[in-house]
Amino acid sequence: MSVLEVVTAGPLTSVQDFGRFGAQRYGITPSGAMDRLSLAAANALVDRPLSAPAIEIGPTKTVFTVRGGALCVALSGALRFTRIGDDPCPLYRTMTLREGETLTLDATRKGMFSYLAVSGTLKGEPVFGSFSVNARAGLGSPYPRPLQGGDQLAFENTVSLPDRSMVPPVFGDGDIRVVPGPQYDEFGKSTGTFFNSPWQISPTSDRMGYRLEGPTVAHAGNFNIVSDGTVDGSIQVAGGQPIVLMKDRGTTGGYPKIATIISADLGRFAQTRPRHTFRFAIVDVDAAQQETRAFHALLQSLPGKVRINT
């Protein structure tokens, strides 16, 4: 059995899969990978199920080492300098980490999250069908919290793979698409402000929510509503400042929601760095669901996009 050991990790580094469903009525949020497309691509490269648990690595410098035997790994997602020992480690390509070697990921240059998948089965116990870390609920496996230096992730049934690579998959570009939220009508003319203004993401954002910086968005009820349910990508407005609820969101909320980011664009949005300017564009639910189908088709096509280099 080979072990991937964390040497240093930033606060946004944790084990994630596609998430935990069925217990939102008890306040358990699904969690799961911030960028499902990148997680699935890393898994496809190491010949694992697309939704298998892998390591989601945040934007700061992170270092791993290997004990107990070699591991075949693949990295996807954010652009950053990455090396094995002193040698550059390409993204979207299988690499072998030998016993005692270190894998270093510098801070990201473009994007927020990387995914490190291993060609083996992560040892742990899924909780409600998922390994995903939900730190607030104390859920997740093998550690029910973000990763820290010294943590050891054991992998069984590891296999050595040939040199495999993939052109990084992309889905959509430009404006982040949204459908009207449940309290859309209560924002009146402010919906114009919301859609016609450029936005930036605040550096204080995390897996619970991305705060947006831009103009003040007014609400007819002074931002108070009787709590109702939330979804991934809900854009709630508290005191005029929009917050996009992400994977570790609360399951209910007492602030009005102007819009919801469509599920196919949420991973791309999650990879948006602070200070980068973007806009929202409105679409209807039918158009959003066409995008959902296209996104799902892209996910399913990933294993077929893996090239074996000879």
Cα separation, 138 vs 305, in Å, equals 37
Exactly one of 66, 95, 139, 306 binds another protein (CB under 8 A); that residue is 139
Q: Does 51 bind another protein (CB under 8 A)?
A: no
Q: Does 24 bind another protein (CB under 8 A)?
A: yes
| Nearer residue to another protein within complex by CB, 58 or 233 | 233
Interactions with another protein, residue window 55-114 (CB under 8 A): none
Cα separation, 296 vs 67, in Å, equals 36
Length in residues, the chain: 310
Q: Does 218 bind another protein (CB under 8 A)?
A: no
Which residue from 27, 46, 309, 31 is spatially nearest to 159, judged by alpha carbons?
46
From the list 26-34, 48-56, 65-73, 209-217, the region that binds another protein by CB under 8 A is 26-34
Cα separation, 106 vs 202, in Å, equals 21
Provide the minimum distance between the beta carbon of 15 and another protein in the complex, in angstroms, as a whole number: 16
Looking at the chain, list the stretches that DSSP marks H as alpha helix, in order from N- to C-terminal side. 36-45, 190-196, 263-270, 285-305
Provide the minimum distance between the beta carbon of 9 and another protein in the complex, in angstroms, as a whole number: 23
Exactly one of 160, 197, 227, 277 binds another protein (CB under 8 A); that residue is 227
| Side chain identity at residue 80, one-letter code | R
- What CA dihedral angle connects 144, 102, 111 and 164, to 10 degrees? -100
Q: Does 220 bind another protein (CB under 8 A)?
A: no
Residue with tokens 């069908």: 129
Exactly one of 124, 168, 182, 274 binds another protein (CB under 8 A); that residue is 182
Exactly one of 159, 167, 170, 226 binds another protein (CB under 8 A); that residue is 226
Exactly one of 232, 236, 237, 280 binds another protein (CB under 8 A); that residue is 232
Provide the minimum distance between the beta carbon of 65 and another protein in the complex, in angstroms, as a whole number: 30
Cα separation, 305 vs 165, in Å, equals 9
- Tokens at 4, concatenated: 């991937």
Exactly one of 131, 155, 184, 194 binds another protein (CB under 8 A); that residue is 184
From the list 59-67, 105-113, 159-167, 286-294, the region that binds another protein by CB under 8 A is 286-294
Exactly one of 8, 121, 193, 251 binds another protein (CB under 8 A); that residue is 251
What 182-186 contacts at long range (C-beta under 8 Å, 24+ apart), as own/partner pairs, is 182/228, 182/257, 183/219, 183/225, 183/256, 183/257, 183/258, 184/257, 184/258, 184/259, 186/219, 186/220, 186/221, 186/225, 186/256
Provide the minimum distance between the beta carbon of 120 and another protein in the complex, in angstroms, as a whole number: 26
Provide the minimum distance between the beta carbon of 216 and another protein in the complex, in angstroms, as a whole number: 21
Cα separation, 108 vs 58, in Å, equals 8
Enumerate binding residues for another protein (CB under 8 A): 21-28, 127, 136-139, 179-182, 184-185, 225-234, 250-253, 257, 260-264, 282, 284-286, 288-289, 291-293, 296
